[in-house]
Amino acid sequence: MTAMQKVSLGAHYVVHLQAPDDFAFWRERARGLIQCDVPPDRLSWVEPGGMGDLFATEGPFRGERRLPVPDDDARPVRASKRFMKLARNAALHSDPQRFGLLYRMLWRLQSNPRAMEDKADPDVRRIEELDKAVRRDSHKMHAFVRFREVRVEDGSRHYVAWFEPDHHIVRANAGFFIRRFANMNWSILTPRGCLHWDGVTMRESGPARREDAPQGDPIEELWKSYYASIFNPARLKVGAMLAEMPKKYWKNMPEAELIPDLIAGAQAREVGMVAAGAREERERPASLAAIAEAIIGCRDCPIAECDTRAVMGEGPADATLMIVGEQPGDREDREGRPFVGPSGQLLDECLAQAGIDRSAAYVTNAVKHFKFAQRGKRRLHQSPSAKEIDTCRWWLESERTLVKPRLVLALGASAARGLLGKTVSISQARGKPIALEDGAELWVTVHPSYLLRLEGTAHEEQGARFAADLAAVKARVAELEG
């Protein structure tokens, strides 16, 4: 009997999901059902506690059948990488229609593998919306979870936080908190389920209530004083602030108590700073190897969702000279090393001409993941936004803290922003040292990709200026080492 024949004519099938965030289960069932040619309108997806769950034996799903099983040699199911990436996230949304929507799209992809490329398609748009909402919710969780200290009878410290996610994101974000707070015993309580980490193992428990979480302790004071100190009255953007930190989160955040006063008095700094504050609080990795490991899992900005690998800096851990580029490109992402593609080759040539030994320098990037737009098979470079550079800055600073270069050469505006935390004009900044707060000197020049885009005399002129910048850096490094 073929898989087709096993499908009961006119039957309505119901798939009972075991958990609202079980994407792997959905994928498995969806694959089998597509292989058995079950059309989307003959299928319902029911999550625990959902409508279909209540009425599973009577009501709308009374005619429910056992799910058909595909043959071993059933044709494979096709799904683009983009679809799978978006679907994995969209499945965490709280929209009860999401699994049906994803199945419909997967069904359509079998006859039209490029269906996801139609940006105006209502299904594609809805999947993108769900993905965006889930990413935003995860971002909020990363930024706004605040731990309170709880005294445990044996004298050890336990930290407990309360968070109210909009979507089923708690389990999916466990890894983020394990990496960030690996050495702490902590619990994150939410109405959608709780996570508990004891430094070694992760445990889950059912939903909690706000009253289960402790309120107020010295950590709050720490947050409050931190927030007040970073508050910049010159830059109030209440709209942006509310968008970044909806009022719903205020009650969980000690520093939020200060906000009304601070706003009333003047203007507030964008509250993205609070998230940055959370990072400042974080312990910096103790070695370059630890950074290399940690950036793999970093999801602090959306670039990492591009499905690329993180590219770590390379070079001697005590280099005098650190060279900083913008972000890995296509080749760097494939090879896992900075500056190995066309820009890297030009950089190597120019460094050699200037007498700078690349292998003696520590070479890295302001942003650790490759940001691109997929065009057919090609991945086209996209410049990182200022916010993305600022988010990744923490890693660059962590590298700088360990390597302690005495001279840092920024190639291009993104690199300069990554080092200074603000935008500078290359034409004004180049050719002279800028003091960094740790005493190192920052020198700024253009990015080699800029030279690659120029032709004729412009190429020659700018090439000569770049060579002169490198020569000045070479001379200064020699002085610093001498």
- Residue 182 vs residues 151, 179, 312, 398: alpha-carbon distances, Å: 19, 5, 21, 17
Q: Is 384 in the site for ligand URA (CB under 6 A)?
A: no
Stretch that binds ligand URA, among 176-184, 328-336, 397-405, 467-475 (CB under 6 A): 328-336
DSSP for 70-131? Answer: --TTPPPPP--HHHHHHHHHHTTSS-TTHHHHHHHHHHHHHH-TTGGG-TT-HHHHHHHHHH
For residues 83 and 395, which CB has a smaller minimum distance to ligand URA in the complex?
395
User: Interface residues for ligand URA in 266-325 (CB under 6 A)?
Assistant: 325
Closest separation in Å from C-beta 12 to ligand URA: 53
**For residue 174, how many C-alpha atoms fall within 13 Å in the half-sphere facing its CB?**
18
For residues 109 and 303, which CB has a smaller minimum distance to ligand URA in the complex?
303
Q: Which of 68, 313, 315, 329 binds ligand URA (CB under 6 A)?
A: 329
Helix 386-403 with 272-281: angle, nearest 10 deg: 20
For residues 145 and 323, which CB has a smaller minimum distance to ligand URA in the complex?
323
Pairwise CA distance, residues 402 & 296, whole Å = 19
For residues 160 and 304, which CB has a smaller minimum distance to ligand URA in the complex?
304
Q: Which of 328, 384, 405, 418 binds ligand URA (CB under 6 A)?
A: 328
Closest separation in Å from C-beta 338 to ligand URA: 4
Closest separation in Å from C-beta 403 to ligand URA: 17
Q: Which of 308, 365, 391, 398 binds ligand URA (CB under 6 A)?
A: 365
Site string for ligand URA, 330-359 (x = CB under 6 A): --x-----xx-x-xx---------------
- What strands, in cross-sheet order, belong to the sheet with 407-411? 362-365, 321-325, 407-411, 441-445, 434-435
DSSP for 182-229? Answer: TTS-EEEE-TT-EEEE-SS-EEEE----GGGS----HHHHHHHHHHHH
Pairwise CA distance, residues 228 & 277, whole Å = 11
Q: Which of 314, 326, 397, 441 binds ligand URA (CB under 6 A)?
A: 326
Pairwise CA distance, residues 125 & 215, whole Å = 41
Closest separation in Å from C-beta 330 to ligand URA: 9
For residues 294 and 363, which CB has a smaller minimum distance to ligand URA in the complex?
363
**For residue 136, how many C-alpha atoms fall within 13 Å in the half-sphere facing its CB?**
12
Are 362 and 389 contacting, i.e. CB atoms less than 8 angstroms apart? no
Closest separation in Å from C-beta 323 to ligand URA: 10
Pairwise CA distance, residues 374 & 388, whole Å = 19
Closest separation in Å from C-beta 365 to ligand URA: 5
Closest separation in Å from C-beta 237 to ligand URA: 30
Binding-site ranges for ligand URA (CB under 6 A) = 325-329, 332, 338-339, 341, 343-344, 365
